[in-house]
Amino acid sequence: MYHHHNHNHNQNGSLERRAQASNGDIAAATTNGNGVVGASNLNPTTRLLGSPRGDHMPDNYEDLPLDFNPLVFTSLERHLPSHILNLSRDLKAHYMSNILLRYLPHSERVRMQKQKEYRQKIILNYPPLHKEIYTMHSEHFFAPSFLRAIKENTEASFRSVMAEPSRGVYTFEMLQPQFCEMLVSEVDHFERWVHETKFRIMRPNTMNQYGAVLDDFGLETMLDKLMNDFIRPIARVFFSEVGGSTLDSHHGFVVEYGTNRDVELGFHVDDAEVTLNICLGTQFSGGELFFRGVRCDEHVNTETQPGEIFDYSHVPGHAVLHSGRHRHGARPTISGNRINLIFWCRSSAFREIKKYQREFPSWCGECRRKKKERERVSIAATKEELLKRELKSAS
CATH number at residue 167: 2.60.120.620
What is the pLDDT at residue 15? 27
Q: Are residues 189 and 332 in the same domain?
A: yes
Q: Write out the H or E segment, with its range, that includes residue 279.
A: strand 274-281
Whether the pLDDT of residue 303 is over 70: the answer is: yes
Q: Are residues 181 and 322 in the same domain?
A: yes
Confidence of residue 7 (pLDDT cuts 50, 70, 90): very low
Chain Cα centroid distance, residue 191: 25
What is the pLDDT at residue 37? 38
Whether the pLDDT of residue 23 is over 50: the answer is: no
In tens, the pLDDT along 318-341 reads 999 999 999 999 998 888 989 999
Is the Cα dihedral 221, 222, 223, 224 positive or negative? positive
Q: Are residues 76 and 151 in the same domain?
A: no
Is the Cα dihedral 92, 98, 102, 103 positive or negative? positive
Region 278-305 average pLDDT: 93
The SS3 assignment for 308 reads helix
Q: Are residues 165 and 265 in the same domain?
A: yes
Give the range of the structural domain holding residue 96, as residue numbers without chain letter. 70-103
More confident residue, 21 or 270: 270
Q: Are residues 98 and 137 in the same domain?
A: no
What is the pLDDT at residue 3? 52
In a domain, 98, yes or no: yes
Find the range with the poorest average confidence among 208-217, 230-239, 293-302: 208-217
Phi, psi of 124 (to 5 degrees): -65, -30
What is the pLDDT at residue 44? 46
- Domain end call among 320, 336, 355: 355
Domains of the chain: total: 2
Q: Are residues 77 and 181 in the same domain?
A: no
Q: Are residues 138 and 262 in the same domain?
A: yes
Q: Looking at mean pLDDT, say which of 12-16, 35-39, 369-373 comes out highest.
A: 369-373
In a domain, 335, yes or no: yes
Q: What is the DSSP string of 320-386?
A: EEEETTEEEEEPPEEEEEEEEEEEEEE-HHHHHHHTT-S--TTT-HHHHHHHHHHHHHHHHHHHHHH
Q: Are residues 188 and 269 in the same domain?
A: yes
The SS3 assignment for 162 reads coil
What is the pLDDT at residue 46? 60
Is the Cα dihedral 46, 51, 53, 59 positive or negative? positive
Q: Are residues 195 and 95 in the same domain?
A: no
In tens, the pLDDT along 84-136 reads 998 999 999 999 988 888 777 778 888 888 888 999 999 999 999 999 999 99
In a domain, 372, yes or no: no
Confidence of residue 282 (pLDDT cuts 50, 70, 90): confident
In tens, the pLDDT along 29-82 reads 333 333 333 434 344 456 788 788 888 999 999 999 887 888 889 989 999 998
Region 226-233 average pLDDT: 97
What is the rounded end-to-end Cα distance, in angstroms, of the chain? 57
Q: Are residues 80 and 226 in the same domain?
A: no
What is the pLDDT at residue 16? 28
Confidence of residue 371 (pLDDT cuts 50, 70, 90): very high
Q: Are residues 141 and 178 in the same domain?
A: yes
Confidence of residue 212 (pLDDT cuts 50, 70, 90): confident
